Amino acid sequence: MANTIFEVRPPQTPAEWESYFNLRFDVLRAAWGQPKGSETDSDDNSSTHAAIIVPDVGCVAAGRLHALKDRPGVAQIRYMAVHPAYQGKGLGAKVVAYLEVQAKAQGFDLITLNARETAVPFYLKCGYSIISEGPLVWGVIPHKICTKPIL
Ligand SMILES: CC(C)(COP(=O)(O)OP(=O)(O)OC[C@H]1O[C@@H](n2cnc3c(N)ncnc32)[C@H](O)[C@@H]1OP(=O)(O)O)[C@@H](O)C(=O)NCCC(=O)NCCS
């Protein structure tokens, strides 16, 4: 892993897409008893996807950016997930930075996200600010709403 170059890009092949969605399910859904399929939503077809794919391993980091239809100029990051074996190595920050570049290129001026409370320190490190309380997802995961202007 020490010499691995971690490139961020959209998944390309069917196998990469499968690995990407499997990572979202494994990291963000399975431990909370959520059903297979809950790792996707109808915005996936029109979103910007970011993945780090390691040869012979698969997708080890993922994130997604989509436009908020009712808030012009605002995009939301969702489904941020890094494989447990790869956490704490800067991959999550790389994915967020990639999505911010994409957001700027697409003309957005603000990114918003609902951060799991356990991930709030990560988003603060990425330059986000806490705006307000967020939803209590599935009745057990508290969230904070965080934003960052895209300059
Ligand atoms: C949250 C998550 C995406 C962060 O990705 P990561 O690759 O582990 O984070 P990085 O290594 O890029 O961390 C970037 C910075 O944030 C800090 N950081 C990351 N997670 C942190 C945490 N839980 N507490 C405190 N600091 C944290 C790192 O120390 C690092 O700081 P540095 O720049 O001073 O070295 C990842 O840990 C994860 O998938 N967690 C489980 C799923 C989850 O909670 N997703 C978010 C849903 S909103």
pLDDT of residue 14: 98
pLDDT tens, position by position, 105-115: 999 999 999 99
pLDDT tens, position by position, 85-100: 999 999 999 999 999 9
pLDDT tens, position by position, 42-100: 999 999 999 999 999 999 999 999 999 999 999 999 999 999 999 999 999 999 999 99
Average pLDDT, the chain: 96
- Report how far residue 50's alpha carbon sits from residue 100's, in angstroms, rounded to the nearest whole number: 11
CATH code of 8-149, in short, is 3.40.630.30
Burial 73-84, CB ≥16 within 10 A → b, else e = ebbbbbbbbbbe
14 CA distance to ligand 1 centroid (A)? 28
Question: Is 93 near ligand 1, meaning CB less than 6 Å away?
Answer: yes
- Which residue has the CA at smallest separation from atom 17 of ligand 1? 122
pLDDT beyond 90 at 3: no
Residue of 25, 122, 128 with the most ligand 1 atoms within 8 Å of its CB, for mutation: 122
Question: Is 91 near ligand 1, meaning CB less than 6 Å away?
Answer: yes
- How do the domains of the chain map onto residue ranges? 8-149
Residue 78 tokens, joined: 């969702």
pLDDT beyond 80 at 1: no
127 CA distance to ligand 1 centroid (A)? 13
Question: Is 87 near ligand 1, meaning CB less than 6 Å away?
Answer: yes
First to last CA, the chain: 34
DSSP lists the bridge partners of residue 95 as none
Q: How many CA atoms lie within 13 A of 86 on its CB side?
A: 25
